[in-house]
Amino acid sequence: MKIASIVGARPQFIKAAPVCRALRAEHDEVLIHTGQHYDHGMSQVFFDELGIPAPDHNLGIGSGGHGRQTGEMLAALEELLQQIEPDAVLVYGDTNTTLAGGLAAAKLNIPVAHVEAGLRSFNRSMPEEINRVVVDHMSALLLAPTTAAIGNLTAEGLASRAVLVGDVMLDTAREFAERTDVGEVLSAHGLHEGGYYLATVHRAATSDDPVRLGNVVEAFGSLDRPVLWPVHPRTAGNLHEFGLEGRMGGNVRAIEPQPYGEMIALLRGAEALLTDSGGMQKEAYFFGVPCVTLRDETEWVETVEMGWNRLAGTEPGRIREAVAAVSRPAERPEVYGDGHAAEKVAEAVGRLG
């Protein structure tokens, strides 16, 4: 089969790495990068490090409002998919790239396969929630990471198109865990195991609101350990614009976005993770690191149910309480599959042909 895979944002590169390998063992893959993320540290670094083949096409769309960004991608993808004539289109996750890719293909009557289908936060004010609901409903094949995701798809009448494959991020995480020396990365940052918290903040709901972002900065500054914070470019811009850079406590260390292997090592050495990212909540669970989520709901409900993740929102008091209460429960079942999800994705996509 000829399969067009569409990626554009950082988490999609991490998910695509094992899937590209599995697909190329059986099929022809055409890789399309929309250009949603374009900084070297947000894009090329991951292609190099994760051994992802160079994109066959880069649309170079870049940043913009949701409508403009999605619309420009949609127009460019429609034209390109008409030239490529793939048998199926593969999209990942819940970004504007996912929405544009799914919509362009569905309108051309090309079957869409959605990796990471069925996740729901049930919060429609999140752009990601809109993207994932719409993409699930227009996809021919729903590749679900968890039984909770299958449950959500069933509730929406989509069970007949759904397949439980497990989480492709676990494939990448396992592979890198073997390759990375945690001690070496920590000492390069002057850190020791358990001696710091790792933080990430990038969601619009957390980082575009001066009050919420200010609260997060205040909370980080008041914790009992140093906070290492690789800052997403969106958040870096907002910290500057809202005048919050000067309000960072002395224990907060803001650094550039990190490559994947470094980030995984920094996560594994941390006492806990503080994040509003979906992917990182899961990665913390993979490695048995407690997580405090800076949101009021999560798509990765298993992490909370198992006691590894606490929802803390953005109020400083709640964040401090959640950090003080983190623990490492005895049980950490394999709710995200067996680390071979990419092969199952390739098999299921093959059945579309």
Give the E-state strand segments of the chain in sequence order: 2-7, 28-33, 57-58, 88-92, 112-115, 141-144, 162-164, 197-200, 227-230, 252-255, 272-275, 291-293, 309-311
Binding residues among 91-150 for ligand UD1 as defined by CB under 6 A: 94-96, 127-128
| DSSP codes of every residue in 293-322 | ESSS--S-HHHHHTTSEEE-TT-HHHHHHH
Helix (H, G, I), strand (E, B) or coil at 67: helix
Binding residues among 27-86 for ligand UD1 as defined by CB under 6 A: 36-39, 42, 63
Q: Are 235 and 214 in contact (CB under 8 A)?
A: no
Q: Could you identify the residue written with the tokens 């992490």?
A: 303
Q: Which residues contact 97 (CB under 8 A, 6 or more apart)?
A: 6, 7, 8, 9, 12, 34, 36, 73, 91
Would residue 114 show up in a list of annotated catalytic residues for this protein? no
Stretch that binds ligand UD1, among 90-98, 103-111, 115-123, 166-174 (CB under 6 A): 90-98
Phi, psi of 108 (to 5 degrees): -95, 10
Question: In the chain, what is the greatest distance between 2 CA atoms, to the nearest angstrom?
Answer: 57
Q: Measured from the CB of residue 60, what is the shortest distance to ligand UD1 in angstroms?
A: 11
Tokens of residue 154, six digits:
């069933």
Q: Which is nearer to ligand UD1, 143 or 326 (CB)?
A: 143
CA 248/CA 235 separation, integer angstroms: 13
The C-alpha angle 197, 298, 284, rounded to 5 degrees, equals 35
User: Of residues 237, 243, 288, 353, which one binds ligand UD1 by CB under 6 A?
Assistant: 237
CA 246/CA 296 separation, integer angstroms: 27
Q: Measured from the CB of residue 184, what is the shortest distance to ligand UD1 in angstroms?
A: 26
Q: Could you identify the residue written with the tokens 């949609």?
A: 74
Q: Measured from the CB of residue 126, what is the shortest distance to ligand UD1 in angstroms?
A: 8
User: Of residues 24, 137, 225, 234, which one binds ligand UD1 by CB under 6 A?
Assistant: 234
CA 239/CA 243 separation, integer angstroms: 6
Stretch that binds ligand UD1, among 7-15, 144-152, 159-167, 182-190 (CB under 6 A): 7-15
User: Of residues 6, 10, 198, 284, which one binds ligand UD1 by CB under 6 A?
Assistant: 10
Binding residues among 192-231 for ligand UD1 as defined by CB under 6 A: 202
Q: Measured from the CB of residue 8, what is the shortest distance to ligand UD1 in angstroms?
A: 8
CA separation, residue 184 to residues 179, 193, 266, 286 (Å) = 12, 11, 10, 21
Using CB under 6 A as the binding rule, whether residue 233 contacts ligand UD1 is answered as yes
Q: Are 135 and 91 in contact (CB under 8 A)?
A: yes
Q: Which is nearer to ligand UD1, 33 or 318 (CB)?
A: 33
Q: Measured from the CB of residue 238, what is the shortest distance to ligand UD1 in angstroms?
A: 9
Q: Which is nearer to ligand UD1, 195 or 233 (CB)?
A: 233
Stretch that binds ligand UD1, among 21-29, 89-97, 160-168, 219-227 (CB under 6 A): 89-97
Q: Measured from the CB of residue 333, what is the shortest distance to ligand UD1 in angstroms?
A: 26
Q: Please give the size of the binding site for ligand UD1, defined by CB under 6 A.
A: 18
Stretch that binds ligand UD1, among 9-17, 103-111, 161-169, 192-200 (CB under 6 A): 9-17
Q: Which is nearer to ligand UD1, 28 or 296 (CB)?
A: 296
Q: Which is nearer to ligand UD1, 14 or 163 (CB)?
A: 14
**Which residue among 202, 232, 240, 340 is the active-site one?**
202
Using CB under 6 A as the binding rule, whether residue 257 contacts ligand UD1 is answered as no
Catalytic residues: 202
Binding site for ligand UD1 (CB under 6 A): 9-11, 36-39, 42, 63, 94-96, 127-128, 202, 233-234, 237
